Amino acid sequence: MSGTTIGAGTDMTSSLPHRIVRTFSVPMFLVMMATPSWAQEGLGFAKNGGYVGMSGILDFSFGGDTFDGESIYKKVNGDEILILPKFDGAQHALRAVFGWRTGLGAFELSYDRSKHQGTFLEFPGEATFHALNFDERIFLMREHRIQPHLLVGGSIPWMTIKDGSFLDPEVGDGSFRGFGINTEAGVTVFPHPRFGISTGYRYRIMWFDTASGVSHTTYQLRPRFHETTGSVVVTGTFTF
């Protein structure tokens, strides 16, 4: 079993603002850069304004870079342990989407939640993955029904592993939290100016830097670790 360590933690309120700043920096930069173009590019086939939608995430799986089914984090000068299971196969998931489109592009806020089965040293387990996403979607060929798109943004991911933390004799859930970068390339079809259907491939890189376990103490991870996900995404949206 390979081993890494968890350091003494700060409380979550002190680390969360830094994570939010990191997450928002990329999409907010793109929004500011695109604003002059939005002011000039009011024309296009799709209707501008607020929209809601739902995404189906197909073949959603982790790259296994760190969730390998063998590694652990252990408290420095302590006995608390958090495990890193290997998640088997791919999962399908749903994502709720809220956005605002103005000419050149759209800013989107979305939320992911998916259940995963996995193993640690051949013992079965399960986990729940969550992510709050802040993305900028850029449309090309805006005067047409069919519009290629590119997406870049940030995310706040967290993973809860059922019975994934140990501090003898107690067992409890383990949780990892961090930040990530989202990218996507695909195409959106507008059967009607208010209604769009898009499909694309989304790739996400995540860095997990804090964790908590059975003691309910928030720890800083040293070293922090990264994971990747890749999936096909199909999204339907309706603009008000």
Kindly state whether residue 219 falls inside one of the protein's structural domains.
Answer: yes
Q: Is the pLDDT of residue 11 over 90?
A: no
For CA atoms 65, 71, 77, 79, the dihedral sign is: positive
Amino acid identity, residue 172?
G
What is the distance between the alpha carbons of residues 72 and 197, in angstroms, rounded to a whole number?
42
Tens-place pLDDT, residues 16-67: 445 444 555 555 554 444 444 443 445 689 999 999 999 999 888 888 888 8
43 lies in a domain? no
Task: Indicate whether 182 belongs to any domain.
Answer: yes
| Per-residue model confidence (pLDDT) at position 17 | 46
Is 106 in contact with 152 (CB distance < 8 Å)? no
Q: Domain tally for the chain?
A: 1
Domain limits for position 235: 3-32+49-239
Helix (H, G, I), strand (E, B) or coil at 20: helix
Say if residue 223 is preceded by a cis peptide, omega within 30 of 0.
yes
Judge whether 39 lies within some domain. no
Residue 85 belongs to a domain: yes
* Closest C-alpha among 14, 6, 23 to residue 176: 6
Percentage of the chain exceeding pLDDT 70: 82
| Lowest-confidence region among 92-96, 143-147, 160-164 | 92-96
Q: Is this prediction's pTM over 0.85?
A: no
* Strand 86-87 versus strand 72-75 pairing type: unpaired
Kindly report the CATH number assigned to the domain that includes residue 22: 2.40.160.20
Cα distance between residue 49 and residue 116, in whole Å: 36
The predicted model gives 183-201 an average pLDDT of: 97
Query: Is 44 inside any structural domain?
Result: no
* Owner of token pair 């003898």: 168
**Whole-number average pLDDT of the chain:** 84
41 in any annotated domain? no
Q: Which of 134, 99, 98, 107 is nearest to 32 (CA)?
A: 107
- For the chain, the first-to-last Cα distance in angstroms comes to 54
Distance CA 214, CA 60 (A): 28
Q: Is residue 175 part of a domain?
A: yes
